[in-house]
């Protein structure tokens, strides 16, 4: 049965959900005053379930690995998305950085992830731009990349082509019927849009929507990130082929080479409440990137961007339906709080949301991140 699906938020996640719903024969409407202008605009687009593994976030692996697996099919037919299957090289600067990465490698191997320890000489053979002052390196062949700006533009183009309406207005809240079921969206201008299913995918702004189910708490907080885009002069091409991640005196940094001859260097994590690009953040990124790859100093600094990631208390998304008594509340799907992993998790979030809309059974390990897990609501339906 074809449904009308209202998707609030046209970041990469919302666009992915709208695209998947459309593919399955539903009619989607996207509501966002500025599509792909939030965290999506800043994101580097690393698809790195292996090198993004953090201690205490092992539960997320079920989602990140599945999403990485879905990526080739997700981008197929979209045209230019910058999806590349080159691997990721992880470099350590000093002995303690190397020890930290060697410990992490044990955790990665224990989870069945593929990572190889290589010598710094081998690393420099793969990437001659790496500086000589490395203490060790690791190679994760399965960690790839996509260009989130290109991907979101391609998704928007495909959606518009297939007749999806994009409403350039903010959503003010949800509209519910007498039983609490969500039946549509109240737009900021006052207009009401009826929908069979409403997907809340507007990142940090989700918590401010009116009409959220009684008792539902969406504990989102802004974790700001500074990120740089640099152009490689013709004389230095090819600069890098793999994504380089490193730890430099305990500070993480990454360099992502794009097919268009630019390099993305990121990213800080700040909870200081400032949405401006931080001078100290830019300094730290350039310093650490240049320590790993000395020729960074020769690049042209084209862009400095700051955006907020939607963080949650456990660094995992708020994804799924909301409980109402022993049932799920009809008409509402929440998909936000993706923090550092929005781009990577888009295909799996799109599939889960579409499965929820279609009433398809979802594997238990993918359903651990219900949006009401931080709320005092009846949870029998998720027991």
Partner 1 sequence: MDELMIDGVPLGSRLIMGTGGAPSLDGLGEALLASGTELTTVAMRRYAAGTGTSVFDLLERHGIRVLPNTAGCYTAREAVMTAELGREALETNWVKLEVIADEETLLPDAVELVEATEALVNRGFKVFAYTNDDPVLARRLELLGAAVVMPLGAPIGTGLGILNPHNIELIVSRAGIPVVLDAGIGTASDAALAMELGCDAVLLATAVTRAQHPVRMAEAFKHAVIAGRLAATGGRIPKREHALASSSFAGRPDL
Between 246 and 265, how does the x/- string for binding to partner 1 read (CB under 8 A)?
----x---------------
Q: Which stretch binds partner 1 (CB under 8 A): 25-33, 112-120, 154-162, 214-222?
A: 214-222
| Beta carbon nearer to partner 1, 271 or 302 | 271
| Beta carbon nearer to partner 1, 150 or 223 | 223
Query: Using the rule CB under 8 A, which residue among 70, 107, 126, 295 binds partner 1?
Result: 107
Find out whether 15 and 152 touch, Cβ atoms under 8 Å: yes
By CB under 8 A, residue 361 contacts partner 1: no
Distances (CA, A) of 6 to 9, 38, 95, 207: 9, 19, 52, 17
Distance of CA 42 to the CA centre of its chain: 10
By CB under 8 A, residue 271 contacts partner 1: yes
Where does residue 56 fall: left (phi above 0), alpha (psi -120 to 50 degrees), or beta otherwise?
left
| Beta carbon nearer to partner 1, 106 or 119 | 106
Find out whether 218 and 212 touch, Cβ atoms under 8 Å: yes
CB of 15 to partner 1, least distance (A): 26
Query: Using the rule CB under 8 A, which residue among 25, 54, 162, 360 binds partner 1?
Result: 54
> CA-to-CA distance for 89 and 135, rounded, in angstroms?
13
Q: What is the largest CA-CA distance in the chain?
A: 68
The residues with which 194 forms a beta bridge, in sequence order, are 184
Cβ neighbors of 90 (< 8 A, separation 6 or more) are 51, 101, 115, 137, 138, 139, 140, 244, 245, 246
> CA-to-CA distance for 151 and 118, rounded, in angstroms?
32
| Beta carbon nearer to partner 1, 111 or 271 | 271
CB of 219 to partner 1, least distance (A): 5
CB of 55 to partner 1, least distance (A): 5
Which two structure tokens, joined as six digits, stand for 326? 């022993």
Between 302 and 331, how does the x/- string for binding to partner 1 read (CB under 8 A)?
---------x-xxx----------------
Taking the alpha carbons of 309, 312, 315, 320 in that order, is the dihedral positive or negative?
A: negative
Query: Using the rule CB under 8 A, which residue among 119, 237, 274, 326 binds partner 1?
Result: 274
| Beta carbon nearer to partner 1, 17 or 204 | 204
By CB under 8 A, residue 219 contacts partner 1: yes
By CB under 8 A, residue 376 contacts partner 1: no
Q: Which stretch binds partner 1 (CB under 8 A): 21-29, 49-57, 65-73, 292-300?
A: 49-57
Cβ neighbors of 305 (< 8 A, separation 6 or more) are 41, 42, 226, 227, 228, 229, 277
Q: Which stretch binds partner 1 (CB under 8 A): 29-37, 52-60, 154-162, 236-244?
A: 52-60
- 357-362's contacts with Cβ under 8 Å and 24+ in sequence apart are 357/3, 357/5, 357/21, 357/24, 357/26, 357/197, 357/333, 358/24
| Beta carbon nearer to partner 1, 157 or 379 | 379
Number of residues that bind partner 1 (CB under 8 A): 20
Interface ranges with partner 1 (CB under 8 A): 54-57, 103, 107, 219-222, 250, 270-274, 311, 313-315
């Amino acid at each position: 049965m074809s449904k009308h699906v209202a998707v609030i938020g046209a970041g990469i996640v919302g666009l992915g959900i709208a695209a998947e719903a459309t593919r399955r024969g539903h009619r989607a409407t996207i509501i966002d005053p500025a599509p792909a202008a939030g965290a999506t605009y800043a994101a580097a687009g690393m698809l790195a379930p292996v090198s993004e593994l953090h201690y205490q976030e092992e539960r997320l692996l079920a989602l990140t690995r599945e999403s990485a697996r879905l990526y080739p099919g997700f981008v197929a037919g979209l045209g230019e998305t910058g999806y590349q299957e080159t691997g990721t090289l992880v470099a350590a600067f000093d002995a303690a950085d190397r020890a930290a990465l060697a410990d992490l490698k044990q955790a990665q191997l224990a989870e069945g992830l593929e990572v190889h320890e290589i010598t710094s000489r081998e690393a420099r053979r793969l990437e001659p731009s790496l500086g000589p002052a490395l203490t060790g390196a690791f190679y994760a062949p399965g960690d790839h990349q996509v260009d989130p700006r290109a991907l979101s533009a391609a998704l928007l183009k495909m959606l518009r082509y297939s007749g999806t309406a994009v409403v350039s207005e903010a959503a003010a809240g949800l509209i519910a019927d007498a039983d609490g079921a969500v039946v549509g969206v109240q737009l900021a201008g006052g207009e009401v849009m009826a929908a069979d299913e409403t997907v809340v995918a507007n990142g940090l702004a989700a918590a401010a929507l009116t009409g959220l189910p009684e008792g539902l708490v969406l504990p989102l907080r802004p974790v700001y990130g500074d990120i740089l885009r640099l152009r490689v002069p013709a004389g230095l091409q090819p600069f890098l082929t793999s994504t380089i991640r490193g730890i430099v005196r305990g500070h993480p940094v990454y360099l992502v080479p794009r097919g268009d001859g630019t390099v993305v260097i990121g990213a800080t994590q700040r909870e200081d409440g400032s949405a401006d690009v931080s001078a100290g953040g830019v300094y730290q990124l350039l310093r650490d990137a240049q320590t790993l790859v000395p020729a960074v100093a020769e690049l042209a600094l084209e862009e400095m961007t700051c955006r907020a990631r939607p963080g949650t208390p456990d660094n995992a998304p708020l994804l799924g339906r909301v409980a109402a008594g022993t049932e799920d509340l009809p008409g509402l799907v929440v998909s936000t709080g993706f923090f550092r992993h929005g781009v990577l998790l888009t295909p799996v979030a799109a599939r889960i949301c579409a499965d929820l809309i279609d009433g398809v059974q979802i594997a238990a390990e993918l359903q651990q991140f219900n949006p009401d897990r931080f709320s005092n609501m009846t949870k029998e339906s998720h027991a």
